[in-house]
């Protein structure tokens, strides 16, 4: 390799290496089968666990759906609490910025960080709300209550 010593990362993924590649662009991605995955932080079916999997048979029971709904409801509530707490901290820092002009810049930065955290937690709660709704719909479909989608 002309511009760097290291030529490979992960499983058979080359970075650099070869005469056609002068500047070290990544030319091949993934593992040796041609798919994506491998490496330290990659997702694969062997390394990740799925909360919704049923180890016994492969089909979900009514109890599995209820547990999944309960799980998403719990995470939704935690996200909402996180959003409220971060929002309250942001307001607290805004008040401190007004009362402490000597350290106002520090308080404004902390206020903005808390506001971003509140938005992120709210987004997470929103996501979990939709996951809970999907689990409920899957449970109804499994029990035979079919939902008609016309559009």
* pLDDT above 50: residue 34: no
Q: What is the mean pLDDT of residues 15-41?
A: 48
Between 49 and 82, whose confidence is greater? Answer: 82
Q: What is the mean pLDDT of residues 98-105?
A: 94
Q: What is the mean pLDDT of residues 20-31?
A: 49
* pLDDT above 70: residue 115: yes
Q: Going by C-beta distance under 8 Å and a sequence separation of 6 or more, which residues neighbour residue 120?
A: none
What integer pLDDT is reported at residue 57 of this predicted model? 53
Q: Mean pLDDT for the chain?
A: 74
What integer pLDDT is reported at residue 85 of this predicted model? 97
For residues 37 and 10, the answer to whether their CB atoms sit within 8 Å is no
Q: Going by C-beta distance under 8 Å and a sequence separation of 6 or more, which residues neighbour residue 94?
A: 107, 108, 111
């Amino acid at each position: 390799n002309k511009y760097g010593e290291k030529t490979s990362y992960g499983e058979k993924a080359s970075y650099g290496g070869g005469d056609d590649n002068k500047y070290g662009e990544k030319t091949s991605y993934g593992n040796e089968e041609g798919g994506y995955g491998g490496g330290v932080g990659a997702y694969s079916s062997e390394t990740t666990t799925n909360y919704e999997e049923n180890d016994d048979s492969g089909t979900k029971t009514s109890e599995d759906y209820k547990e999944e709904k309960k799980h998403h409801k719990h995470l939704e509530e935690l996200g909402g609490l996180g959003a409220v707490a971060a929002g309250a901290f942001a307001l607290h820092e805004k008040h401190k910025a007004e009362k402490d002009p000597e350290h106002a810049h520090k308080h404004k930065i902390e206020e903005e960080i808390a506001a971003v955290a509140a938005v992120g937690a709210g987004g997470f709660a929103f996501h979990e709300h939709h996951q809970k709704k999907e689990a409920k719909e899957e449970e109804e479909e499994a029990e035979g209550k079919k939902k008609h989608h016309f559009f």
